[in-house]
Amino acid sequence: MGLDKKIVLASGNKGKVREFVKMFTDLGLDIVPQTELGVGDVPETGTTFVENAIIKARYASQITGMPAIADDSGIEVDYLNGVPGIYSARYSTLNDSKDYGTGSIDENNNLKLLDALKDVDDDALRSARYQCILVYMRHAADPT
């Protein structure tokens, strides 16, 4: 069984929409952002990238009745036991009274991460990875 030709992207992020359209157009797939279908964001209540991607894809599929694609991604720093992880996009706003500047949220997230690693002199301890999980949900009841 092949993929449906029209798939809802569980995101309204313009940059992400552009990336997904570019990736999937050559496969003959029509990627439609959830915002074009009246679908809002769903709270990401999962504890892992996989859980959050499933939550987003299932919600978009449930509301639209269409198959859905969703992703969840972030940075995991080994010295920080995987932090910021699923909180990467809003890391600088979590549990911290320190002001990380008036830059963009991405700049502030980077500043907080560098601040957390400021006393780590050994570059080997600063190892990290970028995780990106992509989920395709054929329908809202698709098993996980």
| Predicted pLDDT at 100 | 73
CATH of the domain at 106: 3.90.950.10
| Predicted pLDDT at 1 | 44
Strands in 20-100 per DSSP E = 30-33, 68-77
List the beta bridge partners of residue 127. none
Q: How many domains is the chain built from?
A: 1
Domain membership of residue 143 (yes or no) is no
Among residues 72, 99, 122, 142, which one is catalytic?
Answer: 72
Q: Mean of the per-residue pLDDT values for the chain?
A: 92
Average pLDDT over residues 11-38: 93
Looking at residue 81, the DSSP 8-state letter turns out to be: T
Domain membership of residue 1 (yes or no) is no
Structural domain boundaries enclosing 52: 6-137
Report d(CA 83, CA 76) in Å as an integer: 5
Q: Is 115 a catalytic residue?
A: no
| Predicted pLDDT at 48 | 98
Contacts of residue 50, defined as CB under 8 A and 6 or more positions apart, other chains included, come to 72, 133, 135
Domain membership of residue 116 (yes or no) is yes
In the chain, the percentage of residues whose pLDDT exceeds 70 is: 95
